[in-house]
Amino acid sequence: MPTLPTIHRVLPGLALCAGVALLACLGERLEIGVLGGKWIESLVLAIALGIAVSSVRPLNAPLRPGIDFSAKILLEIAIVLLGGSISLSAIAGAGLGLVAGIAILVLLSIAISYGVGRLLGLPSKLAALIACGNSICGNSAIVAVAPVIEAGSEEIAAALAFTAVLGVAAVFLLPSLYFHAGMSASRYGVFAGLTVYAVPQVLAATAPVGLLSVQTGTLVKLIRVLMLGPVIFVLGLAMKNQTEHLPSDHRHALVPWFIGGFLAMTMLRSLGFIPEMIVAPMALMSSALTVVAMAALGLSVNIRSVAHAGGRVIAAAIISLLALSALSYALILMLRIG
């Protein structure tokens, strides 16, 4: 966090990031009003607008401290607050077999997606972002994992942009799968929960099928989201091990503070120490800070780097999603769901 003497250095860039974030949120509202839904989320719009601003006119040096602060510190605070919206009680009635199956599926999907990305020539950090976003919860996973593995702005922007496109496509395509493949409502709900990126997208994909599908898909998706905590914890340990040879002032802590904060908030929520009345405001604050941080990342992006990786990124994302779909259907058959 900035000290008082340096706040004046942070404010100009922070104000610019907040302004871009506000425009992104207004754009999302416009989508809802005109199209009836937010097909492109505000955090993706924030990155796009940030890239546009930085591409039209080079940013002045005095803006850089506030942009860096927004991209790092605000994002880490948002991740901690995100932990308060996740409760372990969601798995209580799901059954041990399904929970274990989802955990194994997520880990297998991360491994396969990462391998696909590397085979296609993507940098290791970009491949890791796509793997975690594809396997856990799309944009939220990418945003949470990025600071743990110290991913660059271009890598984050590329991963978010192309997983956003696939997330929207899945919402349109999955209902047709239900109507043409003869799935039961419960089986389709599990499949949607295992493959669709974000919780709102799961709701959109399952709503045409009915209430049972919505409830099943949401439960499965929440269990999948719970894997975010263990994954970022393990990645934090891995990054720490990779830097053991560095001087002590360059090493990672055993667990970065925001990962510990995320896990602590999740436990407090699960144990009932966070009142329900403040859960929604915390989630809203987390979302708002994330949009500001994404605006900062967009303002830091070199558009040529993102465009150069485009074809390989979208290929990796599509192949990874197909692999996740195959694994998900295999799990459904093994557990004899529906």
**Residue showing tokens 């144990």:** 271
Which pLDDT does position 338 carry in this prediction?
Answer: 65
**Residue showing tokens 């990962």:** 259
Tokens representing 132? 């975690």
Tally of CA atoms within 13 A in the half-sphere of 315 that contains its CB: 12
Structure confidence by residue, pLDDT tens digits, 8-36: 889 999 999 999 999 999 998 998 888 77
**Cα dihedral sign, 148-28-316-302:** negative
Structure confidence by residue, pLDDT tens digits, 132-185: 999 988 888 898 898 888 888 888 888 887 776 777 677 778 887 777 777 888
Provide DSSP, 188-243.
Answer: HHHHHHHH-SSHHHHHHHHTTT-HHHHHHHHHHHHHHHTTHHHHHHHHHHHHHHHT
Rounded to whole angstroms, the Cα distance separating 308 from 305 reads 5
Which pLDDT does position 251 carry in this prediction?
Answer: 45
Q: Which residues of the chain have pLDDT under 70?
A: 1-5, 37-39, 88-95, 164, 168, 200, 240-256, 259, 302-310, 338
**Which of 265, 266, 264, 263 lies closest to 234 in space, CA to CA?**
263
**Residue showing tokens 């994404």:** 294
Rounded to whole angstroms, the Cα distance separating 48 from 6 reads 29
Which pLDDT does position 303 carry in this prediction?
Answer: 65
Any residues with CB less than 8 A from the CB of 110 and at least 6 apart, and which?
131, 132, 135, 136, 231
pTM score, two decimals?
0.73
245 burial via Cβ count (<10 Å: 0-12, 13-18, 19+):
exposed
